[in-house]
A and B are shown apart, each in its own frame.
Chain A
Amino acid sequence: MIDDDIPFQTSPQKVSRSLYGDISLFVLLALVGCFMAMPLLFVISNAFKPINEILQFPPKFFVRNPTLDNFTDLYYLLQGSWVPATRYLFNTMFIAVLGTAGHVVIASLAAYPLAKRKFPGRGFLFTVVVLSLMFSATVTQITNYMTMSWLGMLDTHWAVIVPAIGSSLGLYLMKQFMEQVPDALIEAAEIDGCSEFRIFWNIIMPVVKPAWLTLIIFSFQGLWGAGGAAGSMYIYSEQLKTIDYALGQILAGGIVRIGPSMAAQLLLLLVPITIFTLSQSSVIQTMSTSGMKD
């Protein structure tokens, strides 16, 4: 970075990049890029297709005469559902917002001592967290179902929210990022007589903003589609189900429903993609501390 500020300096010696290498890597990137983008382009394209283009045979990938019909159809379809669509939307928002906020605050609260304080049990706790990254929530699903039935959490939103608050990836990333915060900052606050909690809230949290933006995007994207995996397992009341479940029902309506359901997918997609676009640089900054020591 410093090199850029000094004019007339000879550019640092760069290892030669062969043209063949450049071309073949670019072709690889383009091919994989097409593969990655194709299904999402399909969603976008079909969301704007009028019904005759959707039913056309042989089908065209791209839309010819874009229309917003699918979005108005979606609106009317949702109006006609037995449980009002706003209820599904509320459920999704409730789970995603509460779960994300809880996760960010509570995981950061625990990450601070793990990163910056020495106390008995610290090594053990962190080892368990790292080990827990090595198996997925599917392992704990069945026993969690039992625990939740004993705690009376089944068929409530808490069955999805509470485990999400205790997700270990967020704690791990936050702890790794907090380790970089200079100790001098904390020592200065200690001299001023700040309590641990005040140091955490007033000194640490503002500095680690990139990390909590990262936790927000990871937690949110998991919970936004939570009706699918965890939701279907723990929640069975119709009025507690989430919007992605409701939209899945529209798609199940068959080929004439492709338009509205793609419109719905597009709307659902926009939310996490927007959040990620806005916070990308923070996420990258946080992930640069995610490395594991052996």
Chain B
Amino acid sequence: MPVLERRTKGADAVRLLPVRLRTVWKEVVRNRSIYLMLAPYFLIFFTFTVLPVVLSLLVSFTNFNMLQWPEGVGWSNYARLFVRDDVFLIALKNTLLFAAITGPISYIACFVLAWIINELSPKIRAIATLVFYAPALSGNAFIVWTLLFSSDSYGYINAFLIKWRIILEPILWLKDPKYIMTIIIIVQLWLSLGTSFLAFIAGLQTMDKTLFEAGAIDGIRNRWQELWYITLPSMRPMLLFGAVIQITSSFAVAEVATQLAGFPSVQYAGHTIVTHLMDYGSIRYEMGYASAIATVLFALMLGSNLIVRRLLSKVGD
């Protein structure tokens, strides 16, 4: 009986461990088929999601060009980032501005739209869901915005504004630092009714209907009171999930920026932390410096997520 043999062999080694570890080890052996099921996913997950974070933290304290052995430089990458790199400070400012605007607006929009849609009849609701979710679904179709905001008079927005005599000559939408940010924010908002929007719709649909009846008896008189006193508190888990998704994506603005405003954009008006990261990582191959940027971005994303999570857990308390 090979199974029994393996067990006794294991037991010899286990005898050397302290009692607590020994019981853990026994549990692990007993559950080995479970670990076998977890292994493929977590092998990939740790290699491409967890390890990179640890690695970039380590590499951020070195000078590394992928050819020579990394050389430790202490905090100098971070010092350079915040003291000497003016472009990074622009990127940081842009990213924070993006996140501060698109994050809350898209989050509220996801919820409010889901809430309105929820009152429609099922067929119309399905169509409305598709219409609102379609942009998030459509991959790189946001490219059409470059045609809409195209700088010559063939650009649709210019053409219509000229036709209606609002402006007299075409505006260089995507080349003028005055407009670049606003346009990227508009397009980002267009793309932002995604996973959390669906989660909110789902949450609203599966809410306990008796809560509303009880609320009506308790004297809730209109939909706003119903929203505040019943819907929001009972949607808390969804609201938390949605917040995580929206915050994470609001910090990661890059593709829209580079596709619309170019890379690098005029006067770095559309430059974000992620585009700065791509600049140093995939063009200049300064991996140490790029890793420092990645680590700052990681801290920003995780930090704001944890703060918002703490705030949201107070909703309805």
Contact = CB atoms under 8 A, between A and B. Distances in A.
B77 to A, nearest CB: 13
B129 to A, nearest CB: 7
A285 B209 CA distance: 17
Contacts of A144: 48, 52
Interface in A258-287: 258, 262, 265, 268-269, 272-273, 276-277, 280-281, 283-287
Q: Is the interface of A mostly helix, strand, loop or mixed?
A: helix
B62 to A, nearest CB: 12
Contacts of B202: 283-288, 290
A184 interface: no
A44 to B, nearest CB: 10
A42 B144 contact: yes
B301 A29 contact: no
A272 B138 contact: yes
Interface string A124-138: 010011011111101
Contacts of B252: 136, 138
A12 interface: yes
Contacts of A276: 130, 133, 137
B100 interface: no
B34 A28 contact: no
Given A290-B241, A292-B241, A113 B37 contact: yes
Q: State which size class the interface on B falls in.
A: 35 or more
9 contacts: A33-B128, A43-B144, A59-B154, A109-B40, A139-B297, A143-B51, A166-B47, A251-B143, A287-B198
Interface of B: 24, 27-28, 31, 33-35, 37-38, 40-42, 44-45, 47-53, 55-56, 59, 66, 109, 112-113, 116-117, 126, 128-135, 137-145, 147-148, 153-154, 156, 159-160, 162-163, 190, 193, 195, 198-199, 201-203, 205-206, 209, 212-213, 215-217, 220-226, 236-238, 240-241, 244-245, 247-249, 251-252, 254-255, 274, 277-278, 281-282, 287, 290-291, 294, 297-298, 301-302, 305-306, 309, 312-313
